[in-house]
Amino acid sequence: MALLTQAPKGTQDLLPPKSWNWETVEDVMRSEAAIHGFGEVRTPVFEHTELFLRSVGDTTDVVEKQMYTFNDKGGRSITLRPEGTAGAVRAMLEHALYNDGLPVKLYYLTSCYRYEKPQAGRLREFHQFGVEMFGAEAPVADAEVICLAKSIFDRLGVKNLTLELNSIGCPTCRAKFHEALKQYFEGYKDELCETCLSRLERNPMRILDCKSPVCSKIAEGAPHILDYLCDDCKAHFEGVQSYLTAAGVEFVINPTIVRGLDYYNRTVFEFVSNDLGAQSTVCGGGRYDGLTEQMGGKSMAGLGFGLGMERLMLVLEAQKIELPEPPACEVYIASMGTDAAKEAFRLTTELQRSGIVAACDVCGRGLKAQMKYANKIGAAFTLVLGDNELAEKKAKMKNMKTGEEKEISLGDDFMNDYLAITVTAEGLGSLAI
C-alpha cells in the first residue's frame, strides 16, 4: 500500500540521531543567551498580515514573493511568520516589557516560512535562533549582540567564519543615498528585472539585494552607503568597530551588505562561511531603530540577529565537528514470562527514575529477539529475568563489552548492587560518567 502523502516540498523531517545534534546545538544557544542576559520569547506561528507588511517592507522579496498568506474563516488576512523579529517586537510592545527596565533582551528558537525555490541551506520551512534587544542606542549594544553570536560559534568550534560589517545609515543620510542610487540605476532601466524596476522609485536600495545575476552584476558598480553617512551614523559605526576591536573580535567592512528586510538601519552584519557555497550567510542582523514606533508602540532603539539552524548544521557537517553522542542504553532487562515481564518493567522504571537510560521489552518479543534488540541499541549491560531469578530474588548482570557476569539483587539492594557493578566497569554508562 502506497503512503497517503509525503512531506511538502521545501520541508524536511528531523529524525534521530540528527535531532539530538540539533538539541545539543540549541542547548549551547540557550546557554549563551542566558549568559548574556537574554530571556526566551515564544510567539505564534502566524500573525496578522499587516504586521509583516509594516515591519518587513512591501518592497522586499519576502513580502512581494515569499510570504504564506491566507484568509482565515473570519475573513482576516493571516501570514505564517517569514522571520522572527516582527513577532518578538509585537509581543514586547503588546505586553509592555519595557516597563520592567531597559534594555529588554529576548531570544527565540523558532520555525519560519517562505515560499522560495528549495536548495541546500534554504527551505520553505526553516528554523532560526534569534535575539532582540530593545532600548539600547549606544554602539556597545551592537557589539554585545555580535559577540553573543560569535560566542555560539566559538563554543561549537566553528572555523573559517568571517564577520562582515556595514552601516546603512539613518533615514536622513539614506535619502541622499537613495537619490544617488536612482541616478545610477536609471542608466540601466532596460536591463533591470521587472521587480527591480518597480523598486527604482519606491526603494532603490532593495535593488542591491536582488538575486538576479543581471541585477547583481549591475549593482556591483552602484554607489556605497558609507560615502553618504551623516556624522551621527558615522560616529556610531566607528564606535561599533572600536568596541569589537576592544573585545578582540576580527571583522571586515563590506559596503555591499544591506540585508533583505526594510526595518534595518545603521549597523548591519553577517557571519559568512566558506563551506556553504551560494548560501554563505549563517547569521545576519543589525539595528532597526524606529521599528517599534512604526508598529504603533513606544519609540525605542532595537537590534538583533537571526541565525539559520539548517545552515549552521551544514557548516558543522562540512567542518566535521563532532557533537556529543546521544545517551545510549545503559542496561536492557530481558524477561521470560508474564511475572518476569512485570518485574523487568518495575526495575526499569526504578532505574529511569534515577536518571539511568534503561529499557525492557514492550513488544512482546521472545528472549532471543529481546537479546538481539539489546545488541542493536548498544546496551552496555543486560539482565535476564525468569522464574528462577524471581524465586531467588537474584540475577546475573552481563557486561556486553567484556562478557563478564556479576550477581545482582532484585530486592532492596538492587540499586546499590547496580551502581557497584557499573561504577567499577570499563566503558561506563550514563550514571557512571
For residue range 65-97, what is the model confidence (pLDDT) as tens digits?
Answer: 789 999 999 999 999 999 999 999 999 999 999
Domains along the sequence of the chain with CATH: 18-170+230-318 (3.30.930.10), 331-421 (3.40.50.800)
> Model-level pTM?
0.89
Distance, in Å, from the CA atom of 312 to the CA atom of 314, rounded to the nearest integer, reads 5
- Over the range 19-33, which residues count as b (16 or more CB within 10 Å of their CB) and which as e? ebbbeebeebbeebb
Task: Please report which confidence band the pLDDT of residue 260 belongs to, taking 50, 70 and 90 as the band edges.
Answer: low
E-strand ranges in 201-280 read 252-253, 265-273
- At 151-168, the pLDDT tens digits run 999 999 999 999 999 999
Residue 426: band (very low, low, confident or very high) from pLDDT cuts 50, 70, 90 = low
- Give the residue among 280, 313, 315, 307 at the shortest CA–CA distance from 84: 307
- Give the least confident one: 145-154, 253-262, 285-294, 343-352: 253-262
Which pLDDT value is given to residue 433?
30
C-alpha closest to that of 153 among 37, 32, 289, 9: 32
- How far apart CA 256 and CA 208 sit, in angstroms, is 8
Q: What is the C-alpha separation between 370 and 331, in angstroms, rounded?
A: 12
Contacts of 17 (CB under 8 A, 6+ apart): 325, 326
Give per-residue pLDDT as tens, 179-227.
Answer: 998 899 888 888 889 888 888 888 888 888 787 889 989 988 999 999 9
Q: What is the rounded distance in angstroms from the CA atom of residue 280 to the CA atom of residue 272? A: 5
CA distances from 31 to 224, 283, 412 (A): 38, 18, 39
